[in-house]
Amino acid sequence: MTEKDFIPHNYTINIESGSFTWQSPSNIALVKYWGKKENQIPENPSISFTLNTCKTTTTLSFSKKENNDEFSFGIYLDDEKKDDFKPKIETFFKRIENYLPFLKDYHFTIETSNSFPHSSGIASSASGMSALALCLMSIEKQLIESNVSLSAVEGLFDNDYFNKKASFLARLGSGSACRSIEGDLIVWGNHKNIEGSSDLFGIKYPYKVHENFKNYQDTILLVDKGEKQVSSTVGHNLMHNHPFAQERFKQANNNLIKLTDVFKTGDLKAFTEIVESEALSLHAMMMTSLPYYILMKPNTLEIINKIWAFRKETNSNVCFTLDAGANVHILYPEQEAEQVMKFIQNELVAHCQNGHYICDRIGYGSEQML
């Protein structure tokens, strides 16, 4: 598929107003996306677990407006007007206008809330942008289905197209958001060994996944709830002219091949090695950018060292990953949940800000609520 496949034919619309609500989860990358080309095209493919508990609920209400020469919208987080979110949404609308030509015909009200606290250091961009993209897709679906006889749209607006275009749009809001439409394991970025993979949208991992990964657990330790000092946008840009960029992109491609093997065999030791190496490579890119920076905190390292010591002592399969921040995602198989939770409570919670952590696990993707 190419970008052109997401440009709709003219709608001969007449829908005055309406509203849709979607709930969309966050995701955690196992092989990381870090570095992008123009138009949010990733430099390397990535793969993630879709989460279950950390999610955003968004209601998008729309009503026809008189003039259609500019975007018009209001945005609310937990019923509070959030004008500081407007530039991000405006940029998003500009990027997707070509693919959703109705955007300037309506005034939109975006009401959003997160299942996790706003100041938790958990990025809401993946769940937030995917939830908004899904609401917009519901409008487009309605515009098409109410005007064309159903037989003519059959195949065009099937679930597969709907999800692909939602992922395509979400990507233009925030790259990793394209991995939040479906679950439970999502690949984004073209990889020659993964059939159907694309730089334009996320797809469900198409091969067999071993029982060991069923209901995998992710306990997110909130080490630092503050705003990051360096945004992901700046971080991605620092991969241009980065001395290790090409090697890093190669490494990610190789790690994805290795993971396909791990998913087949269920080898949890190999899983740990790939996932932890990916997390540390991501942060190594930050430390070797110019300007260089560090997002990990002393407690991030304390936690990592304790995980390594615990694994040595117990032969547990607990491992960690990091996103672009100080918080630590603790990943482990469901069968080890009791033992790992005890370890977290006894040894790791002390390193969390105010003792806070979130128990999450692998999830199955977004859901339409209304």
Could you list the residues that contact ligand PMV (CB under 6 A)? 29, 32-34, 46, 125, 174-176, 232, 236, 282, 323-324
Q: Quick check: 42 and 174 in contact, CB under 8 A?
A: no
Closest CA to 3 of 199, 275, 214: 199
Spatial separation of the C-alpha atoms in residues 81 and 77, rounded to whole Å: 7
Residue partners of 148: CB distance under 8 A and separation at least 6: none
Minimum CB distance to ligand PMV smaller for 19 or for 253: 253
Least Å from the CB of residue 233 to ligand PMV: 6
Count CB atoms within 10 A of the CB of residue 194: 19
Nearer to ligand PMV, 42 or 101 (CB): 42
**What are the helix and strand counts (H, E) for the chain?**
9, 14
Nearest to 179, CA basis, from 2, 23, 324, 47 = 47
Q: Which residue lies nearer to ligand PMV by CB, 62 or 116?
A: 116
Distance in Å, CB of 238 to ligand PMV, minimum = 12
Q: What angle do CA 44, 45, 47 make, to 5 degrees?
A: 140
Strands 46-64 and 17-31, how do they pair? antiparallel
Handedness of CA 42, 29, 25, 155 (dihedral sign): positive
How far apart are alpha carbons 16 and 9 in whole angstroms?
Answer: 20
Pairing of strands 217-221, 185-188: unpaired
Shortest Cβ 144–ligand PMV spacing (Å):
29
Minimum CB distance to ligand PMV, residue 123 (Å): 6
Closest CA to 180 of 144, 204, 155: 204
**Paired sense of beta strands 202-204 and 80-81, if any:** unpaired
**Nearest distance, CB of residue 229 and ligand PMV, angstroms:** 15
**Bridging pattern class, strands 357-361 and 217-221:** antiparallel
State the Cα–Cα distance between residues 70 and 39, nearest whole angstrom.
22
Residue 231 CB, shortest distance to ligand PMV, in Å, is 8
165 vs 171 by CB, closer to ligand PMV: 171
Query: Could you tell me the smallest distance in angstroms from the CB atom of residue 359 to ligand PMV?
Result: 20
Residue with Cβ nearer ligand PMV (43 or 140): 43
Considering the complex, state which of residue 143 and residue 286 has its C-beta at the smaller distance from ligand PMV: 286
Closest CB to ligand PMV among residues 28, 137: 28
Taking each helix axis from N to C end, the angle separating 86-96 and 159-173, rounded to the nearest 10 degrees, works out to: 130
Closer residue to ligand PMV (CB): 44 or 115: 44
34 or 357, CB closer to ligand PMV?
34
- Rounded to a whole number of angstroms, the minimum distance from the CB of residue 111 to ligand PMV is 23
Distance (Å) of CA 19 to CA 94, 109, 220: 21, 9, 33
Q: How far is the CB of 188 from ligand PMV (least distance, A)?
A: 8
